[in-house]
């Protein structure tokens, strides 16, 4: 892995959000990073806010952030990759309050501006769903707006996913953001009618937002970002990012 500066005047970036928490945002983000690397891009990741940290050798770690690092070809400094690493595994505004931390979106925006100077593409993973509170007045949607990034939506395929996908897509559009595409992640291997659900979401998101299905990630045990990357249409996503 490279830790050297890789300045790029045309660096790409995207924001990964999900229909809920625990639906595979980190897994799909890692698969995207592997796919971008295969496409010859120097790929870096940011997890700007992570709640739930453990100590190893005197250093705080977050499992999601470590997974993103493992899938990246450019490692960002820890403070840049995760400006806010909170110990409590709770909603960010609750964890931040416990530690007397104020989540400052401008600080994240500044770090992101530095990150895109170090890589060809930067994947920014949100926290929880799209409208998770960060402060009394701001939420994850405000972070995506502040970063001015196109959004990739990870839909956890399970009962209720159609409603969650449509509500999230509507919220993304309501903030004036581009839904660059979505990924169907088979989190529930026992879900009934998964293909029919995917077909419904695919048709509705294409018609309403011109948002393509970027891939269907099967239920993998153990989880493998490399295998998941095989299922993603990386070239189509790159075309969308390069020609919005």
Give tens-digit pLDDT for 30-50. 999 999 999 999 999 999 999
The pTM of this model reads 0.95
- Poorest-confidence range of 2-11, 18-27, 144-153? 2-11
The catalytic residues are 47
Domains of the chain: 12-242 (3.40.50.300)
pLDDT bucket at 11, cuts 50 / 70 / 90: confident
Phi, psi of 8 (to 5 degrees): -145, 125
Cα–Cα distances in Å, from 77 out to 44, 111, 117, 199?
11, 10, 13, 41
Task: Read off the tokens for 189.
Answer: 């291997």
The predicted pLDDT at position 162 comes to 98
167-202: pLDDT as tens digits: 999 999 999 999 999 999 999 999 999 999 999 999
Is the predicted pLDDT of residue 7 greater than 60, yes or no?
A: no
Q: What b/e sequence results for 113-124 when a residue is b if at least 16 CB atoms lie within 10 Å of its CB, and e otherwise?
A: eebbebbbbbbb
The stretch 1-22 carries a mean pLDDT of 72
Residue 81: which of 107, 121, 111 has the closest Cα?
111
SS3 25: helix
Phi/psi at 119 (nearest 5 deg)?
Answer: -145, 170
Q: Residue 146 pLDDT more than 80?
A: yes
pLDDT digits (tens, 9 = 90+) for 85-117: 999 999 999 999 999 999 999 999 999 999 999
Q: Are 63 and 52 in contact (CB under 8 A)?
A: yes
pLDDT band at 3 (very low <50, low <70, confident <90, very high): very low
Give me the pLDDT at residue 5, please.
42
Average pLDDT estimate for 149-173: 98
Band of residue 244 on the pLDDT scale cut at 50, 70, 90: confident
What value does the mean pLDDT of the chain take? Answer: 95
């Amino acid at each position: 892995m490279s830790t050297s500066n890789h300045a790029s005047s045309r660096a790409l970036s995207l924001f990964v959000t999900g229909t809920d928490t625990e639906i595979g945002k980190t897994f799909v983000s890692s698969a995207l990073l592997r796919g971008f690397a295969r496409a010859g891009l120097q790929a870096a990741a940011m997890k700007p806010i992570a709640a739930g940290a453990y100590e190893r050798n005197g250093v705080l770690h977050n499992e999601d952030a470590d997974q993103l690092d493992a899938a990246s070809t450019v490692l960002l400094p820890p403070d840049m990759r995760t400006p806010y690493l909170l110990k409590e595994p709770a909603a960010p505004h609750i964890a931040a309050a416990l530690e007397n931390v104020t989540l400052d979106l401008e600080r994240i925006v500044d770090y992101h501006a530095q990150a895109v100077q170090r890589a060809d593409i930067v994947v920014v993973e949100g926290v929880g769903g799209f409208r998770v509170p960060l402060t009394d007045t701001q939420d994850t949607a405000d972070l995506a707006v502040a970063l001015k990034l196109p959004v990739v939506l990870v839909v956890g395929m399970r009962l209720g996913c159609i409603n969650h996908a449509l509500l999230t897509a509507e919220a993304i559009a309501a903030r004036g953001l581009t839904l660059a595409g979505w990924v169907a992640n088979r989190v529930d291997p026992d879900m009934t009618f998964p293909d029919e659900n995917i077909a419904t979401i695919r048709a509705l998101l294409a018609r309403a937002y011109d948002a393509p299905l970027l891939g269907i990630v099967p239920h993998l045990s153990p989880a493998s970002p490399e295998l998941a990357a095989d299922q993603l249409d990386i070239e189509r996503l790159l075309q969308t990012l390069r020609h919005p």
